[in-house]
């Protein structure tokens, strides 16, 4: 298992296959990372892979002194469920949070 960072993405790789991903956009002159999409292959769901990917974006934001806006519905639910864990980086979800399917 490996989580790999590319500009705007974190990928979950296993056996050279991308099985999960989270994407983010930079907003507010780069001071906000807006989580726009989260996906994990159905064979891996329930293993907290999506949360690990979201956590990778949050760790990046922490290391760079940025905030995270959970525009993806999965991320919005995660931020609400574990509000104390994400309190230091969390912003209110954007208007798109309701339209992003939970994958």
Is the confidence at residue 97, as pLDDT, over 80? no
The domain of 13 spans 2-98
Extended strands (E) in the chain: 2-6, 9-14, 17-27, 32-40, 67-70
Crossing angle between the packed helical segments 73-81 and 49-64, to the nearest 10 degrees = 80
pTM, two decimals, is 0.88
How many structural domains comprise the chain? Answer: 1
Does residue 103 fall inside a structural domain? no
% residues pLDDT > 90 (the chain):
83
Does residue 44 fall inside a structural domain? yes
Does residue 27 fall inside a structural domain? yes
Does residue 34 fall inside a structural domain? yes
- Report the CATH number that the domain containing residue 55 is assigned in CATH: 3.40.630.30
Tell me the average pLDDT of the chain.
90
- How open is the CA angle 83-48-12, to the nearest 5 degrees? 115
Does residue 37 fall inside a structural domain? yes
pLDDT digits (tens, 9 = 90+) for 28-77: 999 999 999 999 999 998 999 999 999 999 999 999 999 999 999 999 99
Residue by residue, DSSP assigns 69-94 as: EE-SHHHHHHHHHTHHHHTTTB----
């Amino acid at each position: 298992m490996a989580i790999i960072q590319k500009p705007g993405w974190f990928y979950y790789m296993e056996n050279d296959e991308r099985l999960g991903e989270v994407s983010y956009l930079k907003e507010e002159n780069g001071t906000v990372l807006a989580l726009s999409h989260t996906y994990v292959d159905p064979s891996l769901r329930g293993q907290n892979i999506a949360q690990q990917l979201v956590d990778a974006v949050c760790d990046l934001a922490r290391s760079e002194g940025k905030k995270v806006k959970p525009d993806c519905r999965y991320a919005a639910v995660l931020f609400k469920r574990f509000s104390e864990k994400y309190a230091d980086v969390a912003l209110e979800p954007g208007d798109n949070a309701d339209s992003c399917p939970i994958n």
